Each structure stands twice: as structure tokens, then as C-alpha cells.
């Protein structure tokens, strides 16, 4: 039986070792797959945020190998999606009605895959509110031109007269989103994901987000996630990590509060996962915490706008998913 709205939660803290995190992640994935009951060998296209990016984050990376091994043991064919900032030359246009964009430009591999495995570190994004499963799905499955369309108007800008040319932003960016000519830095619109991490490192204040645009970005993210998920009756597995310390790199760390240590969530429904994560975060840190945790958003902006938009467009279930604790 498919229970798309159920979210599984394994409480853990950042002090847990990699083996413990990996073991819980495998149990959660198996719980989701029991519900989904996918055909044997269902091919899964996967994107695991930060996979192979930073070997220092052993705790986060510790889960990827056991999860992939377990899925292979179950006979699932696994194919990796391109990294977030990498090229995805084959694009497929998926029409959308009554959405922020008339069509979503998806990578052919993501569009054609019968199922998905998306792993992410959930956080609060300075421009797009809750950076959860909906956002990760949109970014992981968009084509290169789709990624550019998603980020339009929200990438940071560099005031050349203020830039001291230190190159810190270039060193920090893991997406090749900014280049440096020896004197000043310049954003690369074709690769910058508008994550905002470099803003926290710029000591001169040359890097700034443009005013506005967060709601438009969220609406586009929700539409893209819907375009991805609606084409997959079997959906897949979304796995989100809310483990305090490693999370902090995923957000605009200088100004954002550290996320509470909540553990790991898994679901066959990215919308349900994000609503569950928001409820758990507000439950642990106090009502309104999610709304307040993204310091650069416009005042009063809805941090769950992308999630609500994805739900409205048929990407998942409603706002109050069942949360099942797995020990
Ligand atoms: S961190 Fe700031 S000052 Fe340094 S190169 Fe980047 S934009 Fe310029
Ligand atoms: S916002 Fe900065 S750190 Fe983030 S992708 Fe763009 S250039 Fe890189």
C-alpha cells in the first residue's frame, strides 16, 4: 500500500557517529520502500546533496554509502543525477498550467527516471525560505537552463568598487558560482545557485542579494518540483538530515540560527516531508522559528511558499502529514 503522506522520523543528534546515522538512514529508506512497494529493480535516479563534496563532514557522508548499498541489494538500478551546479545538456520541457512558469525545463535523465532518491541537508535558505525536499527536487532535476531560469533575479551581486579582491568568495563557493580576475570578483550567472554562503564570507560588504525576488523564486521551485513528481506515480524516496552542526554550512551561517538537532526524516512525498520538518522545527525551537530563521527574506514572506505551491500543483499531500517515529 502506498502511504505517500507518511513521514518517518529517526531522532538523532549531531553527536551520533557516522555508522549510527547510516544505520538509521537505511531503516528509514526501508520503511518508505515497504509502503511504496516498488516493482523489483525499479530504477532510481539519485541526487545526494554534498556527496563527495566535503570529506570533513563524515557524519553527513556516512549515510550515503550504506543507503546506496542497501538499494543495490534490493535490485534497484541506480543512476546519479548531475551535481547541482553541473551541466545537464539534455533538456525536456514539461508544460505547466496555472503555475509561475509555463513549463519546467528538466534534465532528461531526471524526467525519464521511474523513481527518485533525493538526499539533502534541510536548512533555511536566505532567499527561498525552508530549503527542503521540494527545493532540492527542483534544483536536482532541472536542466542547466532550468537552473538558470529558477535563479533568475535572485543571485547575489558584487559591487565592484567595494570588492577588495580577496577571493574568499571564490574559495568558499562549491558551485563555481563566482570568479576572480585578480582584482575583483564576478558572479557567474550560469552556475551560481544563489545559496548565499559567500555573503557571509565577504568582509567588505561587496556581495549583496538584490531586493525582492524570494517569492518568485519559491513559486518557481514549487512548480519545478511538481513537474518532476507528477510524472512519477511511484515517486521515490526523500531523505532529509536535520543534524545541528553540519547543517550550519547549508545556510547563510553568519546570520542564521543553527538548526535544532532533530535527526533524519524520510518520505515518499517531498511535500509531506517539508511540512513535517517545519512542524518538528517549530515544535523543537518554538512556534514561528521557521518563519524567523531566514534573515534575508522579505519581511512577512512565507518560508513554505514553495512547498504550498508544489502541493497545490499536485506534487504531494497536505499540510499535516502523519509522523511515525523509528527508533
Ligand atoms: S569576498 Fe567580497 S571582497 Fe572578497 S573577492 Fe569576494 S566579493 Fe570581493
Ligand atoms: S551565492 Fe555565492 S556561494 Fe552560493 S552559489 Fe552563488 S557564488 Fe556560490
For residues 234 and 242, give the distance between their C-alpha atoms in angstroms, rounded to a whole number: 25
Mean pLDDT over each residue of the chain, to the nearest integer? 84
Cα 288-138-323 angle, rounded to 5 deg: 45
pLDDT at 83 over 80: no
Q: Which of 93-107, 145-159, 291-305 has the lowest mean pLDDT?
A: 291-305
Residue 227 and residue 130 share a domain: yes
CA 178 to ligand 1 center in whole angstroms:
10
Residue 183 and residue 129 share a domain: no
For residues 48 and 53, give the distance between their C-alpha atoms in angstroms, rounded to a whole number: 10
CA 247 to ligand 1 center in whole angstroms:
24
Measured CA distances, 94 to 43, 151, 228, 257 (Å): 21, 18, 8, 37
C-beta of residue 134 within 8 angstroms of C-beta of residue 222:
yes
Instruction: Find out whether the beta carbon of 133 lies less than 6 Å from any atom of ligand 1.
Output: no
Residue 184 and residue 68 share a domain: no
**Residue 144 grid coordinates:** 542547466
pLDDT of res. 200: 74
CA 214 to ligand 1 center in whole angstroms:
23
Closest residue by CA, ligand 1 atom 8 = 163
97 against 176, higher pLDDT: 97
Residue 161 and residue 20 share a domain: no
Instruction: Find out whether the beta carbon of 138 lies less than 6 Å from any atom of ligand 1.
Output: no
C-beta of residue 51 within 8 angstroms of C-beta of residue 64:
yes
Among 79, 126, 125, 118, residue whose Cα is nearest residue 225: 118
Instruction: Find out whether the beta carbon of 202 lies less than 6 Å from any atom of ligand 1.
Output: yes
pLDDT of res. 257: 57
Residue 194 and residue 89 share a domain: no
Among 74, 63, 61, 147, residue whose Cα is nearest residue 115: 74
CA 185 to ligand 2 center in whole angstroms:
12
Average confidence (pLDDT) over 38-60? 65
For residues 205 and 212, give the distance between their C-alpha atoms in angstroms, rounded to a whole number: 18
Closest residue by CA, ligand 2 atom 4 = 195
Q: Closest-lying ligand to the alpha carbon of 176? A: 2
Burial letters for 67-79: b for 16+ Cβ neighbours within 10 Å, e otherwise?
A: bbebbeeeebeee
Q: How confident is the model at residue 255 (pLDDT cuts 50, 70, 90)?
A: very low
Closest residue by CA, ligand 2 atom 2 = 198
Residue 112 and residue 98 share a domain: yes
CA 202 to ligand 1 center in whole angstroms:
5
Q: How confident is the model at residue 56 (pLDDT cuts 50, 70, 90)?
A: very low
For residues 266 and 326, give the distance between their C-alpha atoms in angstroms, rounded to a whole number: 10
Among 120, 123, 157, residue whose Cα is nearest residue 294: 123
Average confidence (pLDDT) over 29-52? 80
Closest residue by CA, ligand 1 atom 1 = 202
Residue 71 and residue 101 share a domain: yes
Residue 259 and residue 188 share a domain: no
Tell me if 1 is assigned to some domain: no
Provide residues with CB under 6 Å of ligand 2. Answer: 156, 172-173, 175, 177-178, 187, 192-198
Residue 320 and residue 232 share a domain: yes
Instruction: Find out whether the beta carbon of 185 lies less than 6 Å from any atom of ligand 1.
Output: yes
pLDDT of res. 294: 66
pLDDT at 206 over 60: yes
CA 169 to ligand 1 center in whole angstroms:
6
**Residue 205 grid coordinates:** 560588504
Name the one residue in this structure whose C-alpha cell is 561587496. 206
Number of structural domains in the chain: 2
Q: How confident is the model at residue 42 (pLDDT cuts 50, 70, 90)?
A: confident
For residues 178 and 158, give the distance between their C-alpha atoms in angstroms, rounded to a whole number: 10
Domain boundaries, position 174: 155-208
Enclosing H/E stretch for 28: helix 18-36
Tell me if 2 is assigned to some domain: no
Residue 138 and residue 55 share a domain: yes
pLDDT of res. 237: 94
Average confidence (pLDDT) over 143-151? 88
Residue 253 and residue 316 share a domain: yes
Query: Which atom of ligand 1 is closest in space to residue 168's alpha carbon?
Result: 1
Share of the chain above pLDDT 90, in %: 43
C-beta of residue 274 within 8 angstroms of C-beta of residue 225:
no
Q: Closest-lying ligand to the alpha carbon of 185? A: 1
One DSSP character per residue, 91-151 reads EEEEE-SSSSSSEEEEEHHHHH-SEEEEEEE-EEETTTEEESHHHHHHHHHB-HHHHHHHH
Closest residue by CA, ligand 2 atom 6 = 192
Query: Which atom of ligand 2 is closest in space to residue 188's alpha carbon?
Result: 7
Domain's final residue, options 163, 186, 208: 208
Residue 126 and residue 221 share a domain: yes
CA 162 to ligand 1 center in whole angstroms:
8
Task: List CB contacts of 20: < 8 A, sequence separation 6 or more.
Answer: 12
CA dihedral (179, 181, 186, 189) in degrees, to 10, reads -50
Task: List CB contacts of 249: < 8 A, sequence separation 6 or more.
Answer: 54, 57, 197
Q: How confident is the model at residue 86 (pLDDT cuts 50, 70, 90)?
A: low
Among 175, 78, 72, residue whose Cα is nearest residue 118: 78
C-beta of residue 266 within 8 angstroms of C-beta of residue 33:
no
Instruction: Find out whether the beta carbon of 166 lies less than 6 Å from any atom of ligand 1.
Output: yes
Adjacent-strand bridge partners of 45: 79, 116
Query: Which atom of ligand 1 is closest in space to residue 185's alpha carbon?
Result: 5
Query: Which atom of ligand 2 is closest in space to residue 194's alpha carbon?
Result: 1
Amino acid at each position: 500500500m502506498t502511504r505517500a503522506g507518511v513521514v518517518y522520523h529517526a531522532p538523532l543528534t549531531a553527536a551520533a557517529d557516522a555508522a549510527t546515522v547510516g544505520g538509521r538512514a537505511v531503516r528509514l529508506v526501508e520503511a518508505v520502500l515497504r509502503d511504496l512497494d516498488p516493482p523489483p529493480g525499479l530504477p532510481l535516479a539519485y541526487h545526494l546533496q554534498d556527496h563527495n563534496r566535503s570529506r570533513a563532514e563524515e557524519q553527513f557522508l556516512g549515510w550515503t554509502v550504506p543507503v546506496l548499498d542497501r538499494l543495490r541489494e534490493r535490485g534497484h538500478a541506480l543512476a546519479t543525477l548531475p551535481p547541482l551546479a553541473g551541466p545537464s545538456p539534455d533538456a525536456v520541457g514539461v508544460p505547466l498550467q496555472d503555475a509561475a512558469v509555463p513549463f519546467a525545463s528538466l534534465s532528461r535523465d531526471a524526467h525519464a527516471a521511474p523513481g527518485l532518491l533525493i538526499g539533502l541537508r534541510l536548512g533555511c535558505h536566505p532567499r527561498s525560505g525552508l530549503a527542503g525536499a521540494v527545493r532540492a527536487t527542483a534544483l536536482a532535476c532541472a536542466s542547466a537552463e532550468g537552473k538558470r531560469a529558477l535563479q533568475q533575479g535572485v543571485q547575489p551581486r558584487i559591487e565592484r568598487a567595494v570588492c577588495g579582491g580577496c577571493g574568499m568568495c571564490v574559495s568558499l563557493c562549491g558551485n563555481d558560482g563566482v570568479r576572480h580576475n585578480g582584482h575583483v570578483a564576478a558572479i557567474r550567472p550560469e552556475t551560481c545557485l544563489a545559496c548565499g554562503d559567500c555573503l557571509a564570507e565577504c568582509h567588505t560588504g561587496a556581495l549583496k542579494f538584490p531586493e525582492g525576488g524570494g517569492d518568485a523564486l519559491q513559486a518557481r521551485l514549487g512548480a519545478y518540483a511538481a513537474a518532476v513528481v507528477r510524472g512519477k506515480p511511484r515517486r521515490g524516496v526523500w531523505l532529509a538530515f536535520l543534524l545541528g552542526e553540519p547543517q550550519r554550512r547549508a545556510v547563510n551561517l553568519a546570520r542564521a540560527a543553527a538548526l535544532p538537532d532533530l535527526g533524519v526524516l524520510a518520505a515518499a512525498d517531498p511535500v509531506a516531508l517539508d511540512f513535517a520538518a517545519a512542524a518538528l522545527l517549530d515544535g523543537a525551537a518554538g512556534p514561528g522559528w521557521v518563519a524567523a530563521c531566514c534573515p534575508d527574506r522579505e519581511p512577512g514572506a512565507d518560508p513554505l511558499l514553495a512547498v504550498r505551491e508544489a502541493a497545490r500543483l499536485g506534487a504531494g499531500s497536505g499540510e499535516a502529514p502523519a509522523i511515525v517515529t523509528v527508533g
